[in-house]
Structure 1
Amino acid sequence: MADTAQLKTDLWKKMAASPFVMFGIDGEHSEPLTAQLDPDQVDTLFFFVGKDNRAAKGGAAMVQFVSKGHDYFACMAGAARIENDFAQIDKLWNKQAEAWFPGGKDDPNLALLRFDIYNAQLWEADMSLSGKLKMLFGGKIKSGEEGSHAAVNTTAES
């Protein structure tokens, strides 16, 4: 069972390995987006979106994340807003973003959406050999073997 600090560290490692999330503004259906991670910004995710994307209106929002190995889950609540700081766009720009915005960093439809995390629920499954076997064959999961969970007000690692 991991402690809260380890869960936070694992969140950022797993998101770096697979930054694909479901993002939704309150009252709207979620949509898949690719999170841009800035290690210098705690509790913040960025997304390159079109100005015509429904997420661009901002407001209260939620982000759901499932790791590539399906052993880590996170639900993050916060607020989104457009932050078209060119220095931040330049810092986060990559080939994947370029594929969506053929006009590059100066594409007239480009918007940088900032998501500030207010709180989060983090879960990590027990993916040990015995845990996998129990799930595969319907074995009984005992107390303490269910994995780790934490409700946090910051995803900062320390």
Structure 2
Amino acid sequence: MIATNQTAIEDIKKLGEIIKDIKFAMVTSTNAEGSLQSCPLTTQDVEFDGDLWFIIGRSCELAKNIQSQPQINASFASPKGHYVSISGKAALVEDRAKLEELWSEAYKVWFSGGIDDPNIALLKIDVTDAEYWDSPSSTVVKMAAFAKAYITGDPRALGEHHKVHLN
């Protein structure tokens, strides 16, 4: 995904700043029966450019689900008060260079054949929409923000909330 206007570039940068330190995402897909199904995936240590990348098993339920229903959601939450919900279109991608970029020896726990394991798949999510909540990180600042929101009746004092449309 390549941003074409300044607002989209700023939105992508802000989303990237929030999710870069969140180690895991809960990725939700729709199964064959129409039920939502979630699984945790490791957030990749790459600069967010509007696409999310994950390494998954080709035979896992998530891979099967996106074959028939590519709409997907990835949600991120940190103890520091950062929350992101991302929606987009998922696809399994064959890209050896990208796999090498993302690969870590820790993945051998799931893929005993290493980087050449035939069950490895790259999941690419082309982000279309996102929503984030970014609140103060220190306890004292959170308490002051809560007090201000309570007194003024304005929940915006609790932090930034923004909806983003990328495509």
Alpha-carbon distance between aligned partners in 2 of 1:86 and 1:134, rounded to the nearest angstrom: 47
Equivalent residue number for residue 105 of structure 1: 115
Consecutive unaligned residues in structure 2, runs of 5 or more: 1-7
Equivalent residue number for residue 52 of structure 1: 59
RMSD, matched Cα: 2.8
Provide the TM-score with structure 2 as the length reference. Answer: 0.75
Aligned residue type for 2:158: E
Kept after mapping to 2: 8 A contact 1:60/1:78: yes
Equivalent residue number for residue 64 of structure 1: 75
Kept after mapping to 1: 8 A contact 2:84/2:130: yes
State the SS of the aligned residue for 1:111.
strand
**For residues 57-109 of structure 1, what are the alpha-carbon distances to aligned partners after superposition, in whole Å with 9 as ceiling and x for unaligned?**
3211001110242x111111101110021111011111332332111111011
Match of 1:85 among 75, 95, 108: 95
Equivalent residue number for residue 29 of structure 2: 25
Consecutive unaligned residues in structure 1, runs of 5 or more: none
State whether structure 2 residue 166 is matched by structure 1 residue 154: yes
State the SS of the aligned residue for 1:22.
strand
Kept after mapping to 1: 8 A contact 2:11/2:164: no
Shift of 1:7: 6.8
Shift of 1:20: 0.4
Instruction: Name the count of aligned residue pairs.
Output: 150
Shift of 1:43: 1.0
Q: Percent identity?
A: 27
Equivalent residue number for residue 76 of structure 1: 86
Q: Which has the higher contact order (CA 8 A, sep 6+)?
A: 1
Higher helix share: 2
**For residues 96-130 of structure 1, what are the alpha-carbon distances to aligned partners after superposition, in whole Å with 9 as ceiling and x for unaligned?**
32332111111011111111110101111234524
Alpha-carbon distance between aligned partners in 1 of 2:151 and 2:15, rounded to the nearest angstrom: 24
Equivalent residue number for residue 4 of structure 2: none
More displaced stretch, 56-65 vs 28-37: 28-37
More displaced stretch, 30-39 vs 77-86: 30-39
